């Protein structure tokens, strides 16, 4: 487990790049309160993976799909999920079966009972000002 303090969005972009450089597959869970910076981190992360263009928040759609360098990437936000069983109805679990897919899940705790365990867990806590305390499990970064 690694804990670090981010003091700016530039620090967030650097962290996102370090994780993107590892070319992760599987699932990344992002936890933290509203406004902690989960979606901001994801924007920088997708750009670091090679996405060009806008990164929309999946708050209302639940999932935004991307193909980045021939790799399927799914950004999901389960905050508005009413019942975890909805994921089965929308085919969400099929994303995990795609070869080399990456599923980034904000608010995974809303369906933790049904989701496969994360490969990487990133917890973001908003501190004073722009500071964020970030705890990362599942990977080693410098």
| pLDDT tens-digit map of 78-135 | 998 989 889 999 999 999 999 999 999 999 999 999 999 999 999 999 999 889 999 9
| pLDDT tens-digit map of 12-28 | 999 999 999 999 999 99
3-class secondary structure for the chain? CEEEEECCHHHHHHHHHHHHCCCCCEEEEEECCCCCCHHHHHHHHHHHHCCCCCCCCCCCCCEEEEEECCEEEEEEECCCCCCCCHHHHCCHHHHHHCCCCEEEEECHHHHCCCCCCCCEEEEEEECCCCCEEEEEECCCCC
> How confident is the model at residue 56, as a pLDDT?
86
pTM of the complete model: 0.94
118: its two tokens: 């994360």
Cα–Cα distance for residue pair 58/41, rounded to 1 Å: 14
| pLDDT tens-digit map of 31-58 | 999 989 999 999 999 999 999 999 988 8
Residue 142 has pLDDT above 90, yes or no: no
125: its two tokens: 């806590």
| Cβ-proximal residues to 29 (8 Å cutoff; 6+ apart), any chain | 105, 108, 118, 120, 121, 122
> How confident is the model at residue 84, as a pLDDT?
87
């Amino acid at each position: 487990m690694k804990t670090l303090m981010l003091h700016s969005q530039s620090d967030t972009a650097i962290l996102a790049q370090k994780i993107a450089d590892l070319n992760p597959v599987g699932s990344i869970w992002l936890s933290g309160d509203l406004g902690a910076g989960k979606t901001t981190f994801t924007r920088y992360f997708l750009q670091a993976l090679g996405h060009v263009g806008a990164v929309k928040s999946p708050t209302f759609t639940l999932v935004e799909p991307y193909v980045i360098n021939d790799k399927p990437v799914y950004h999901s936000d389960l905050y508005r999920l009413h019942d975890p069983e909805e994921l089965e109805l929308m085919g969400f679990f099929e994303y995990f079966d795609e070869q080399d897919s990456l599923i980034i899940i904000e608010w995974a705790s809303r369906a933790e009972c049904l989701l496969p365990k994360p490969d990487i867990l990133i917890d973001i806590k908003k501190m004073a000002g722009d500071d964020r305390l970030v705890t990362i499990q599942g990977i080693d970064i410098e």
